[in-house]
Amino acid sequence: MSASATRRSEAGSAHAGPAVSLPPTDASDASAAPAAARPRRRPRWALLGLTPFALYTLLFLAVPTFLALATGFFDGDGAFTLDNLTALAEPAVLGAFASSFWVSTVTAVAGAVIGALVCYALLAVRPDGFIRTVVDAASSVLAQFGGVMLAFAFIATIGIQGLVTVFLKDRLGVDLFADGVWLYQVPGLLLPYLYFQVPLMVITFMPAMEGLKRTWSEANATLGGTRFTYWTRIAVPILAPSFLGSLLLLFANAFSSYATAAALISQGAQIVPLQIRGALISETVLGRENLAGSLAIGMIVVMVVMMTAYSALQARTERWQR
């Protein structure tokens, strides 16, 4: 190497400054971050906390469903048969399914609309305020208020000798049963069912209403949109999956209700749950003892379809709630 090249190399080293020595990197430090990011594994014994729920699901959901499916395909002697399923095409059974679908549809639609309006009104109050607390508590209680207690409440209120019935007839001359005693027939199930359908809608639909972000409304106003534009083009499309999911849940809730209908309608089997009761206790279905199983299969099919659609809608709703 020439002397001039040596001088240029030394000058470049002088301008570069002193060399900086880096501390050695430990391999354990490189793996510390991924190790910290990995969640800690829960011990297997923690799954024992699911034991009570698992037993409850097994005894009151899985076992009855299995028995319903099994008995629907066997006769009284234990032989395999499809005769029980042919009962689903009988006029009485089809009429019961039609009545169940009618009651469930009417109460689900009415309950969903009324419940959605209640949820919209609750947006104007404080989430931790007195009104919201009372409504949430009342909805949680009334959504489970059914059966004999609810039937007795309506009989004592608007029954033939109910308090409201007697008051309207004596004071105002209005006879609620001028065209017949509708309370103890299928139309009489509408009001009692709405009594627990509306609170259930409030419980299931209110989280979706609370999920509407204020920034969406502000962005709509900034771009010159109106309140009508916000609800029709932003809020309603976002809330539609949750609303339809809640509607399906209300339909399934009404379709499977038994105790309230059994307490009000003591004669006849005008809806499917009462048809199943009649098949279990009636003495006129000899030779088709497992008819109740085939009716239960029909109800299970309807419930599976409803719950599958509900789960799909809920999964779509959760996308924008994250």
Write out pLDDT tens, residues 61-116: 888 888 877 787 777 677 777 777 887 888 888 999 999 999 999 999 999 999 99
More confident residue, 38 or 239: 239
Whole-angstrom Cα Rg for the chain: 32
**CB-based contact 84:171 (threshold 8 Å):** no
pTM to 2 decimal places: 0.78
pLDDT (tens digit per residue) in 163-222 = 999 999 998 989 888 888 888 989 999 999 999 999 999 999 999 899 888 898 899 999
Which residue segments constitute the domains of the chain, with CATH numbers given? Answer: 76-321 (1.10.3720.10)
Q: What confidence score (pLDDT) does residue 277 get?
A: 85
Contact 290, 316 (CB under 8 A): no
Highest mean pLDDT among 2-6, 19-23, 283-287: 283-287
Is 41's pLDDT higher than 70? no
Percent of the chain past pLDDT 90, that is, above it, reads: 32
Name the pLDDT band for 38 (thresholds 50, 70, 90): low
pLDDT tens for 296-317 read: 888 888 988 988 888 888 777 7
Question: Which one has a higher pLDDT value, 27 or 245?
Answer: 245
The DSSP-derived string for 261-301 is HHHH--SS--SHHHHHHHHHH-SS-TT-TTHHHHHHHHHHH
CA 250, distance to chain mean position in Å, is: 7
Q: What is the pLDDT of residue 21?
A: 46
- Please give the pLDDT value at position 254: 94
* Helix (H/G/I), strand (E/B), else coil: 175: coil
Burial level of 193, CB count in 10 A (0-12/13-18/19+)?
buried
**5 has pLDDT over 70:** no
